[in-house]
Amino acid sequence: MTPEKEAVTISESAERSRTVSAPVLTEWCTQCLLRAELPSDDAVFTAQSLVQTSLWGIDSHGVARLPHYLTRLAAGSLNPQPDLRFETTGPCTGTLDGDHGLGFVVCRRATDEAITLAKTNGLGFVGVRNSSHCGAIGLYGRMIAEAGLIGLVFTHSDAFVAPHRGHQKFLGTNPICISAPRSGGTPVCLDMATSAAAWNLIVNAQTENRAISPNLAYDASGSSTTDPHAVACLQPMAGHKGYALALMIELLCGPLNGAPWGPNITPMYGDPSARRYLGSFIGAIDPTRFAGGATFAQAVADIAAAAHCQPHKHPAEPVLVPGDDHYACEEHRRRSGIPVAEGLAAQIRDWCTRLGVPSPLA
């Protein structure tokens, strides 16, 4: 399942919950992260990123993940004030040691460096090591596109997904993001897992005690299951295609950066005091270095407009381009608020008590 489909699936369940406005949730996330000793700028960026992700409808990677990050910050596996060390290794390349900082902080720096390299030399590719879970990688792809560049962003995770023809965990959900600037509009942005669903969707379903869609996951016997509590591993997206993509992304994020891969990566939901040593691979391309560069952003807008005008089978389901459904969800949720399911609400209350911050649920 892509984040686009996932957003719809989660939203249908989440919309039955209470809602909280984006500014209120942003303030709550910021205050929690400040209490966890993040510098102000990092706390604000992370809070805004989590809330933005929830606004897009990707609840698997939004505000619902903050309790997990707070747990790891408290346990010491996440460094609240990392010493980020960037090294330029060539005209278009560099490496970033994340010093086990929060993935949002680490990948923002890597994205900034990739943008600088691309604007200077046409291309910018940065390998990241010693990082952690960085949320939805569409955050960084859109940052690149908003700078007028083409973005290529990859990251990996510990093993959650069975290989094609297998039924035991082997690779991560290993997402891919490709983004492009659109003249007069928001970036066109593909952001999808290479698994049939994000693992955090399963975690949310467990918290909310609700069934998942069929054909997303296997139980311990290798049979497809809709019970989130029985899930042993995820299925790859589109069988061999998702598995092949996941394996190639693993090579770019793990071995290329001197990072562990697949079953060798510290589990996200294991010992919260154990560091994860995750890698990412972030690239930016300056379209003006190519023949169509001067009109590229306009061409993106033209293609998107042409797609929107294509005949569609159902009146309520027009043809979209990547990212459109996220922007539509954001427009709706900015008006009506972000859904907070009861499982997350309980976690919010708990962290408010532990950190002494006001509740956003009043």
CATH classification of the domain holding 123: 3.30.1370.60
What per-residue confidence (pLDDT) applies to 200? Answer: 82
Residue 195 lies in a domain: yes
Query: Cα separation of 106 and 109, whole Å?
Result: 5
Kindly report the pTM of this predicted structure: 0.93
CB neighbours of residue 257 within 10 Å: 23
Residue 308 lies in a domain: yes
What per-residue confidence (pLDDT) applies to 244? Answer: 98
What per-residue confidence (pLDDT) applies to 285? Answer: 98
118 close to 143: Cβ distance less than 8 angstroms: no
**Three-class SS state of 103:** helix
Residues of the chain under the 50 pLDDT cut: 1-15
What per-residue confidence (pLDDT) applies to 231? Answer: 97
What per-residue confidence (pLDDT) applies to 315? Answer: 86
Write out pLDDT tens, residues 303-326: 999 999 999 999 889 999 999 999
73 close to 106: Cβ distance less than 8 angstroms: no
Beta-strand relationship, 93-97 and 123-131: parallel
Q: Which two tokens mark 208?
A: 């909310």
User: C-alpha distances in angstroms, 355 versus 36, 73, 326, 358, 359?
Assistant: 8, 12, 32, 9, 11
What per-residue confidence (pLDDT) applies to 17? Answer: 73
Residue 361 lies in a domain: no
299 is in which domain, residue-wise?
Answer: 3-355
Query: Cα separation of 20 and 29, whole Å?
Result: 12
Q: Which two tokens mark 12?
A: 């249908």
What per-residue confidence (pLDDT) applies to 7? Answer: 39
Q: How many domains does the structure of the chain reveal?
A: 1
Residue 360 lies in a domain: no
